[in-house]
Chain A
Amino acid sequence: MSRRRKRRSGEEVELNLAAMLDMAFQLLTFFILTFKPAPVEGQINLRLPPPVGITRAGGSDAGTDFNAKEPPKGLTTLVISAFSQRDGSLAQLAVGETPVGTLSALDNRLQTVFADKSTPFDQVIIYVGPELRYDELMRVIEVCTRQRLPDGSRLSKLSFVEMPSGG
């Protein structure tokens, strides 16, 4: 008891910081070596339901209802085609059966189509060439998602269909 009292009154207790500093440097080295900042990535959010047959309505195929007198009402579908070249680049675009030369022409055409409020589309299908590269496809998707629907919302619901080889 008396010894402890003496030390308290006479000597200064010094912490050995060297060991703590060693450990801190090791931790620091670990964090510096494992530090890899994640790249800033953007994204385009889409709903991609599987495409539905355009001559199908109300879950029935054409000709299945014997008593039906009216022809089956098809889904109003906007078809956009993106043809690819062998190297994966974009060869040709079309809206319906109308060819459009460039992405800006596609933009103009889609604006005209969506401005017509009398024909709201049930689905938008993009037919894509099998070799089309992802970056080329994203340019087409970017143009599509820029469009405003008659209700004011942006087009975010698409369906993809792969063209047969050679398309």
Chain B
Amino acid sequence: MSELESGEGKPNLTPILDMVFQLITFFMLVINFKSAALDLNLKLPVVGSARPVDTKGQESLLILNVDSQGDINVYGRKQPVKEYIAREAMAALIGAKRSQPDLEFGQELPTMVVIRADRTTPFKALNRVIMECQQNGFIRFALKAINREEKG
């Protein structure tokens, strides 16, 4: 008597399990925890010559999400501009001292400030953030933009 005739047919789960594991592997590989630091509600300006730059993780970055009011959003929470940048500058200085022990407060920090500002942010609000960074030793900046308007 075959399995079908006896009514005890069991589906072969091995192929479906294989497929599911392949899908899991795919999602595990493409998941990017760094994107959690990005405020995806911001509408970045469109600049044709802006190109993605891959630092291959060798450069320390300070990502600042600046909304249209000039506030800094960190993981969805607003932070006071002055205190937040001063705190990050101190952390960057401590980190940089490992490779450059002579580095003092006020000198140029090797950290690059990545500014992701909303396209409607007025310059006076943005300049407040930039000046605060400069006063704390950040000189290197990356201004984020998108190459072309996203659909939708």
Count residues of B near A (Cβ-Cβ below 8 Å).
54
Residues of A within 8 A of B119 (CB): 133-135
Residues in A12-35 with C-beta less than 8 Å from chain B: 17-18, 20-21, 24-25, 27-28, 31-32, 34-35
Residues of A within 8 A of B135 (CB): 50
Q: How far is the CB of A37 from chain B (nearest CB, A)?
A: 7
Interface string of B4-16 (1 = CB under 8 A from A): 0000000001101
CA distance in complex: A23, B4 (Å): 28
CA distance in complex: A41, B51 (Å): 7
Assuming the contacts A42-B50, A45-B141, A162-B124, asked whether A135 and B45 have C-beta atoms less than 8 A apart, the reply is: yes
B147 interface neighbour in A38, A42, A162, Cβ under 8 Å: A42
B144 interface neighbour in A41, A141, A142, Cβ under 8 Å: A41
Any chain B CB within 8 A of the CB of A137? yes
Q: Are A48 and B53 in contact (CB under 8 A)?
A: no
Tell me what chain B mostly uses at the interface: helix, strand, loop, or mixed: mixed
CA distance in complex: A21, B10 (Å): 15
Assuming the contacts A128-B127, A133-B120, A135-B119, asked whether A43 and B142 have C-beta atoms less than 8 A apart, the reply is: yes
Assuming the contacts A27-B24, A44-B50, asked whether A88 and B139 have C-beta atoms less than 8 A apart, the reply is: no
Residues in B18-70 with C-beta less than 8 Å from chain A: 20-21, 23-24, 27-28, 30-32, 34-35, 38, 40, 44-53
Taking A36-B40, A139-B47 as known contacts, 16 extra A-B pairs with beta carbons closer than 8 A to each other, sorted by chain A number, are: A24-B21, A27-B24, A31-B23, A37-B30, A41-B50, A43-B53, A43-B145, A45-B53, A49-B134, A88-B120, A129-B123, A131-B122, A132-B122, A133-B120, A160-B123, A162-B124
Closest to A139 in B: B47
Closest to B114 in A: A43
**Which chain B residues have a beta carbon within 8 Å of chain A's beta carbons?**
13-14, 16-17, 20-21, 23-24, 27-28, 30-32, 34-35, 38, 40, 44-53, 112, 114, 116-124, 126-127, 130-131, 134-135, 139-147, 150
CA distance in complex: A133, B4 (Å): 72
Residues of A within 8 A of B112 (CB): 45
